[in-house]
Amino acid sequence: MRHPEPHIFHLTPETLGDWCAQRKWPKFRAKQILEWVYEKGVADPHAMSNLAKRERDQLAAEMTFLSGDTLSHQSASDGTQKLLIQWTDAGTSPLPIVGQSANDPARQTECVMIPSLDRTPGGTPTRRTACISSQVGCPVGCKFCASGLGGLDGNLSAGRIVEQVWRLARLPGVERISNIVFMGMGEPLANFASVIHAVRTIAAPWGMGIGARKITISTVGLPKAIERLAEELELPVTLALSLHAPNDDLRRKLIPWSSYTTIEELLGACRKWFDKTGREITLEYILLGGVNDRPQHAEELAEVASTLRANVNLIRYNEVEGMPFERPATGDVRRFQEILTQRGVNAHIRASRGRDIAAACGQLRHESNKAESGA
């Protein structure tokens, strides 16, 4: 199905205002439309009651609101909710999404709503984090991750990135999204322009209204793109570096893309980031049982972390069927953290969320398509 352009979630007050002016609508229509979409959560033009009927009809005919379909909605026992979205043919940039079948993995991405385990006295989660995708598939090909099993199929447009947040905010029991992490499918800094456009919309008072300081961009490490991101000073986002190994030899075995750069080059870019922004970096480290979770790895990681202003997030691996990696033992994880702490590193163990709904990145798409193919 082909949708009309443009996509509402791609537009700003200025560009939507121009669109309305071309149709000789009143100047305030753009503001009203954006209020319906972002403040009231309405994506049906026919329900926008303060617009004239002819305007509602024209808006429905000439503007895309929701450009994908939800193929799967799963809820975990811990409150985590995950969506598998099938995108249609419009709204990708700059690569097209290929594939023609109704359930083609080349058109699917995942996004997750993760409620905080910290609760207020009334029992309401204090944080609701949206974990969103920036690409369809992934070019990085981490050996332990399901996202890149089929490689990269395309970049998501800014509108489709924002649409994921909007969809998650409309899920049952979710009053509003408080935090954003670009830790879903894809490498965000490889889709730089669309991600920055989306971040501006997510942070804008007229948009999702989620401050940039509550937005984290996670990258496997593109030094020049990290330095470029530091120049976006009006967007004080948090930078997370997906390190996953403390030395180049092991990292290149786990992350094929790391053959193009070294840890020292990445650390240099991160130091420039800190010098420019004054914001600490988060080092993300997935612990793989028997692979990168040994005491010597912790000692090496402590040396790496000591060279810059950073904290370390330790993430226990969520198993993916067909991949030769195992979840680390709890004792090994605790020992790993203890070594880092003893070396003066601020290290946290991230709570595992949504394990009963294929919550690992790319896992739902992977399992959905195995079932579709009868594998």
**CA separation for the pair 269, 223 (Å, rounded):** 5
Angle (nearest 5°) at CA 200 between 196 and 204: 170
Q: Which of the following is catalytic: 110, 187, 284, 367?
A: 110
From the number of C-beta atoms within 10 Å of its C-beta (0-12, 13-18, 19+), residue 20 rates as buried
**CA separation for the pair 295, 299 (Å, rounded):** 6
Contacts of 263 (CB under 8 A, 6+ apart): 243, 246, 247, 248, 251, 304
Give the distance, in angstroms, between the CA of residue 368 and the centroid of all CA atoms in the same chain: 20
Q: Which of the following is catalytic: 138, 142, 270, 361?
A: 361
> Is 361 noted as a catalytic residue in this protein?
yes
Residues 345, 307 contacting (CB under 8 angstroms)? no
**CA separation for the pair 256, 247 (Å, rounded):** 14
For residue 321, what are its two tokens? Answer: 């069927």
DSSP-assigned letter for residue 233:
T
Contacts 24+ apart (CB under 8 A), 293-296: 293/328, 293/332, 293/333, 293/336, 294/332, 295/335, 295/336, 295/339
> Is 110 noted as a catalytic residue in this protein?
yes
Residue by residue, what is the 3-state secondary structure of 256-313? HHHHHCCHHHHHHHHHHHHHHHCCCEEEEEEECCCCCCCHHHHHHHHHHHCCCCEEEE
SS3 147: coil
- Residues annotated as catalytic are 110, 361
